[in-house]
Amino acid sequence: MNIEEFDFDLPEELIAQTPLKERTASRLLVLNKQTKEIAHRHFPDIKEYLQPGDCLVLNNTRVLPARLHGVKEGTGASIEVLLLHQVEGDSWEILAKPAKKVKLGSVIRFGDGLLTATCTQIKEHGGRVVQFAYEGIFYEVLDQLGEMPLPPYIKEQLSEKERYQTVYAKEEGSAAAPTAGLHFTTELLNELQQMGVCIAFITLHVGLGTFRPVSAETVENHKMHAEFYHMDQHTADMLNQVKQSAGRIISVGTTSTRTLETIARDNNGEFREASGWTDIFIYPPYQFQAIDGLITNFHLPKSTLIMLISAFAGKDIVMEAYREAVQERYRFFSFGDAMFIYA
């Protein structure tokens, strides 16, 4: 399947540059994948489409202030570093820019030496592994020196770091936010629970795959970068009970979807406590085993994310919904509007 099949025209002015003042103020395109009916609503209207016995699955990863600006010892060259994931202890995999200046043994200093990074490995894809040195607590140093790693299509500065975190973000480790969850407030989640909708949490730390475009001409030749996930036994038991009771599992975001589908695939359609690395790549005609509905944002043309939702709802239906979203002037990407796909 050629990746051009997942292309669409998107006016640049529809790429949301800043979050809305109120998280729930976003619009919501609702797509019934069976009837192909499209409705234009607002995000709080999600309550009308959820039922007692349904379960929302949220990714509780927390974004690190993972973009650092430093200088290379010896030359004074400016180096930008993006933390991807912790390898072990103070060893991290990173992206460096310009990468060619960071060779084995290169030392980068941040904050006048408050933090240093020594390159210990060069990865095949061009990433680096570095060993950090510092005094005190790493995450406190990072919070002092780091910036939120906003995607390259966002040109505006983020005035409030927490607006690139979900209200339930807990587990430190992501290089990007699971943006479908940015629309929820604590109050809305409480309202849904009072309706009889259960809330479950899983973790997937968003890594390099978010920043890596599909460079292959055909979908089948693209290789996903592995990301760390975790589901505890409590969540597994809850989801199995929902399935047994004929409730619906509604995944909030593509990261939650990939985690759920990985675990279901590895356990014959059931959920179990699990941790590991997943490089699952979901594209048509993938057969879903875990989810019954999906809340997601609007994604980049030719991205692995639009391929995933095309697998769930059908490529032709999704591309038609995207054309309508452009026509109706929806806001796109990380700080944009939302979409709910169900049957």
- Tell me the domain boundaries of the chain: 3-63+160-342, 67-147
Looking at residue 79, its pLDDT comes to 98
- CATH assignment of 67-147? 2.40.10.240
Q: Which residues contact 298 (CB under 8 A, 6 or more apart)?
A: 322, 325, 330, 331, 332, 333, 336, 337, 339
Q: What is the pLDDT of residue 84?
A: 87
Over the stretch 185-219, which tens digit does the pLDDT of each residue have? Answer: 999 999 999 999 999 999 999 986 666 678 899 99
Q: So what's the pLDDT on residue 211?
A: 60
pTM, two decimal places: 0.92
Question: What is the CATH architecture of 3-63+160-342?
Answer: 3-Layer(aba) Sandwich (3.40)
Say whether 67-147 and 3-63+160-342 share the same fold: no
- Give the count of beta carbons closer than 10 Å to the beta carbon of residue 328: 12
Residues of the chain with pLDDT under 50: none
